[in-house]
Structure formats: structure tokens, C-alpha cells
Structure 1
């Protein structure tokens, strides 16, 4: 599987499989390890107290052992292990240290597996090299780690077939749920997984009755940017629009921009484009009556600015996303800053709720972003 960042080691995976009810023989054959070795592993998987002496006794650590070791109450330890709210950073760190010292990790996995829990999250990220997806990946991993969840990530510019395989591979790693952060994988494909598995779509404004989603409020962003240009007197505006088959998200986003402009009485020229590389020359040849360009994201906006390098300031230019320092003083692009950190955090929180309560009602959460007015838009 391309781009998987981390995963369980063979020993942990084998012990977890046995804890879930598989036989020693079948598990040994599955992982291609000697059965006697696996029996030794299972007998020493969880080791409370002094590591060496407890391994000899073969006694398994319990949540009571963790509570006694940390000086915390059993309920606090339980909440820390489950990644629930109300646990201080200090208490979380003490519990994690005790888990490692007492060898509780496999016992915890066994307990969770009895309730179909492994404390792992699978994440599909479209392309971590793109600023938006890179920041989203960091936000998802940060929040997952803060909740004592292992986060397995697969990323890369994959086609739809590869992304489906990537999700299947993540499920094979016994993750508790999936977060899908891809603008290309059709929602119908996502629904194949959400019908039988906890799934949250992150960073993509899908509102479907069968799939939970968390995303930045793109309608608000498109409206605010369009209103900003209209307030500056721009009445003939070009909108760069990728085809739906290239990027459903960007196609929808620019369609909303177009709609708000037309509702405001603006003459709109829609320019179909498949990548930022092909827009610079096209925009530089626009009729002089066009005074502004709305771009589907910041990468397109930068490409437009490069294309206008011989006539800077001729066109007002807006972007979308506000990632990668694009709104800093050097470029100072007028853009809509997506709430990526909040979206990533909320997506993980929602997935944890679905893991605990599989029959919870579907939720769609639109999180507001922030307008940044830079020097790339000017009044007529």
C-alpha cells in the first residue's frame, strides 16, 4: 500500500488477533511464525509491575495496576486509555508511561478487541504534497495522538481504484474507523465503506444522509470573496473552473462563486482549466474589460500572478484555502483561510463518537473560515 506511514509490528498484530478469538495455529500460519513462538508471545504480552519478574509470572496488567502505578483513580485511567475528555495532559502522560512500563499495551488491545476496538484510526489523504492535504494530515495525526489513538496514514496522488484499495488495506490493519480526506474518490465509493464501518469525510463539503462529514464552510467563503470583489466595483469577472471529473470539490466551489457573482449582476466569464500550469498565459490574454479573476484555490491564484508578472496589478486576484504562508506579507494574497486545524480535530472527535456509538445519527459539520484581504485585490 503506497504511503502507509505506520502500522502494528507483527508481534502486536499476532497477539491482537489471538486476543480477538483466533486460534494459535491459524494466527501462526497467517503471520508465518512458529506456533511455539506465538504461544510464548501470548503468555508474556501484558506485564504489570517490574517488567522481568512479571513476565516470568505471566501475570497480565490490569487497569487497577495502572491506577496504583500512577496514583490516579481507575476512572481517570480508563478515560485516558479511551481518549475521552476531562483528562489533563499530565495525567495522560503518566498513564501512557505506565502503559509502556507495565506492558499494558497488548492487554488494552485485547480488551478493546472484545468490543471491536484497537485504538487505531485509518486515514486516507489525497496528496500530502499539496499544502491543503499536508496541513490536514498533520491536524488529523495531532488530534489522534492527543486521544491516545494510533493513526495509520496512506497518501499519494492515487487514482480511484488505488484509493479504494488503500481503504481496504487500512481496514485489514484492524483500524477502528476511517477518515477520508480526498477530493476525488466518489462519494458512492465512500458509502460502500460507511455502510458497515465508522467513516468520516474530512475537508470535503459532502452532505449525504449516509456519511458523516466535517468541512470548512465553502459557501460562506465563496460568498465573502465574491462580495468583496463586487464591493470594489468589479463588474466583469473571470472564474477559473476545473472540470468535475478533475476535481469535484473545486468544480463545486467555483460554481458557487459564479452563482454569487451572477446574483450580484456581475458579467461572469467561466474559464475551464485542468491545472494551475495552464492558466497563466490564458489569463494574460483576457479582454481588457475583465478586471478580476476568482481562482479555485491558492495554487491557481499564484499561477495567475506569475502569468501577470509583466503587468502586475492589471487584474484583481482571489485565492482559496489560505495555506502554506500564501497570505504572508511577500505575496499577501486575498483569500479565504480554511479552518484546517479545526476540521481535522473535529473529524477525529466525530469518528471516536461513531466508534463508541455506531448507530449515532449522521452529522454534517460546516466550520467557518476567515477572510484575508490582501494586496492582490484593489478597487477600480
Structure 2
């Protein structure tokens, strides 16, 4: 490599000089054009690192005919899981030179449909949507051509790009952990209807069956929303209605689990000695609550990274036919004070 002749802020011309290539080659490397050989690409990248060149992302997006902005659509940032997920999406998007417009729907169907059509004041290149109401019919009726990636465990057509966690496996994992700790009467706060159980509830039910435990409808409680207040209210109802306490409770989210634990402690039920509690999501509060909450943690960083990988592919290759694009982020069990040590 040659010496850099310019003493001001690093320019593309300086990268070309240091790497011994043309400015066109530098541009091709920055913009991901495939026709640059691997050794040349490495020389350019090394030169960029050496002189500290920062590409003009706005100019690069303009040259590509892009806005450099994507939208993340979520039910609400007051929900800890989505607040944390949004942070991971912003971090991952920054590494690609994208800005993220965050839009809250409140779970309203009309607002979600408007978001699916890309109805924003600012032009966007793509959409990542976590929806509470969108299904195959709404997606089939979508007129917008803005690239779209769906998040969550709702049912979508095979051709809909989709990133999810294994909610079915998460439900099974929760029961398996409680059973390993000696629980035999296991309740679920936030269970879905038994007529059409959602994946997390389905996994819960299957795990009960696999361990030879009876299905107890009196130990299942649906809730109107995934909040601590709803979890506390449902647990209060459970405690009033059953003759014998459950010895384990699966809460549909960590926030719900905190309401569950509050109700138990108010009734002087010891956690985990009398009732063990496990949640989902591993929100930050789960670690600081007392007792600290055992939780099944989705890898939000991977959810964000995989959603952006799929979206980048859709944006970069709009003419490609996309089929069966479904990515699944990993889970892990984080054992804390709210459950018993497996026997």
C-alpha cells in the first residue's frame, strides 16, 4: 500500500490511493458489488480501516435509489420485550447504515393494516412488523410492494418472510424445568384457549402429557393483556378458586410473572418453596426482582439480526422470488431464585 497524501478527513480518493486501486473499485467494495476479487476487496477494506474512512451513507443510499430508512412496527414500547427488541434492531440496523423508524400500533387492527401498506410520513425501504391481528388474509390483501418481514408466532402463509422463536419448544421447556424441580400441579397464567391453543400453550399442554400429568383446566387462566396487573388479577382468581395450590406456575411473559409473584407474596405463599414460578423473555427486571425470576430467554439479538438479514435480501434483490423464508432464533433457560433446583 502507498502512503496517504491527504491530511484532512479521509476521502474515498485516499482509500483508493492507499489500496492502489481505482475509486470505482473502492465504490464497488463499499456497495457490495460482487465483481471485485477477494484479494482486492481485502486490500480496500484494510485501507479503509487504516485511514479511518467513513462512507457517506446518505450519498450511498441516494445512489442506490434508497431512503436508508426502515420501519419497525410493534404493539407498544411500554411492553419490556418490545422495548428491548427495538434496541437490538436499531443496533443491527446502524451497522448496515440504516435508520429505524419505530411505530407503535397499540395492537389496533386498522393501525396495523395502515403500517403494512407503508403509510408513513417518511419514505422507507422496508418493514419489520410484529402484529397482534395480522394473518394470511390481511397479508394477501396488502397492496404495498415495500419489502416486509413479519415477527412473532402468528400463522402466516409459507411465502411470507417470517422470523420467530420456538414458542412451542419454550412452553415445553418451562414445564420440563418445573417437573425437574418436583412440581406436579402446574398452572399457566396467560394460557390461550384450549380450543385453538397458541404454540406456547400447546407446548405446555404436550409437556404435561409427556410427563403423565393431568390437564387441569382449573389451573389455566387467560388474561386480557400481557401485563403485571393482568397476571396479578388472574393469580388472585386462581388462589380463590382452587382447593389445592399449584406447586408451579408458568407465566406467559416475565411481566405477567411479576404480577403472579406479587399476588403469591401478598397471600404469604413462599416462592419457590410453596409455588415455583417461571416466565418468558428475560426482561431486565427479572434479574432484580426478589426473588429473581427464572425465565426462558429468546435471543433478541439474533431475532433482530435474522430479521435484518432477510430484509436486506428482499431490498437488495427485489426481483428474487421469496419462498419459505422462515428463521428461528434460539432460546435458553436462565435459572434463578423463583424455581427449585432440579432433584
Deviates more, 1:200-209 or 1:258-267: 200-209
> Which of the numbers 220, 237, 247 marks the counterpart of 1:282?
237
Which residue is 1:252 aligned to?
199
Q: What is the TM-score normalised by the length of structure 1?
A: 0.69
Structure 1 residues 289 and 158: CA distance shift in structure 2, 3 A: closer
Asked whether 1:262 is paired with 2:214, we answer no
Structure 1 residues 194 and 294: CA distance shift in structure 2, 3 A: farther
CA distance in 1, matches of 2:90, 2:325: 21
Deviates more, 1:364-373 or 1:274-283: 274-283
Asked whether 1:68 is paired with 2:10, we answer no
Is residue 200–residue 212 contact of structure 1 (8 Å, CA) maintained in 2? yes
CA distance in 1, matches of 2:161, 2:148: 7
Which residue is 1:48 aligned to?
none
How far off its partner does 1:182 sit? 2.8
Work out the number of aligned pairs and report it. Answer: 303
Q: Give SS of 1:161's match.
A: helix
> Which of the numbers 312, 326, 334 marks the counterpart of 2:270?
312
Asked whether 1:363 is paired with 2:322, we answer no
Q: What is the TM-score normalised by the length of structure 2?
A: 0.76
> Matches of residues 96-115 of structure 1 in structure 2 within 5 Å?
96=55, 99=56, 105-106=58-59, 108-113=60-65
Asked whether 1:224 is paired with 2:173, we answer yes
How far off its partner does 1:90 sit? 4.2
Q: Higher helix proportion, which one?
A: 1
Asked whether 1:324 is paired with 2:284, we answer yes
CA distance in 2, matches of 1:367, 1:70: 38
How far off its partner does 1:109 sit? 4.3
Asked whether 1:189 is paired with 2:148, we answer no
How far off its partner does 1:184 sit? 3.7
CA distance in 2, matches of 1:93, 1:182: 41
Q: Give SS of 2:53's match.
A: helix
CA distance in 2, matches of 1:299, 1:283: 18
Is residue 187–residue 248 contact of structure 2 (8 Å, CA) maintained in 1? yes
How far off its partner does 1:260 sit? 1.7
How far off its partner does 1:68 sit? 0.7
**What per-residue deviation string (whole Å, max 9, x for no partner) do you get for residues 42-83 of structure 1?**
xxxxxxxxxxxxxxxxxxxxxxx9631444654454443469
Is residue 296–residue 333 contact of structure 2 (8 Å, CA) maintained in 1? yes
Is residue 80–residue 148 contact of structure 1 (8 Å, CA) maintained in 2? no
Q: Give SS of 1:162's match.
A: helix
Is residue 83–residue 147 contact of structure 1 (8 Å, CA) maintained in 2? no
CA distance in 1, matches of 2:277, 2:33: 44
> Which of the numbers 79, 83, 97 marks the counterpart of 1:148?
97
CA root-mean-square deviation: 3.3
Asked whether 1:291 is paired with 2:243, we answer no
Is residue 235–residue 265 contact of structure 1 (8 Å, CA) maintained in 2? no
Which residue is 1:337 aligned to?
297
Which residue is 1:43 aligned to?
none
CA distance in 2, matches of 1:151, 1:226: 37
Is residue 283–residue 304 contact of structure 1 (8 Å, CA) maintained in 2? no
Q: Give SS of 1:326's match.
A: helix
Is residue 12–residue 53 contact of structure 2 (8 Å, CA) maintained in 1? no
Q: Give SS of 1:129's match.
A: coil
CA distance in 2, matches of 1:173, 1:345: 23
Q: Give SS of 1:279's match.
A: helix
Q: Give SS of 1:238's match.
A: strand
CA distance in 2, matches of 1:320, 1:165: 30
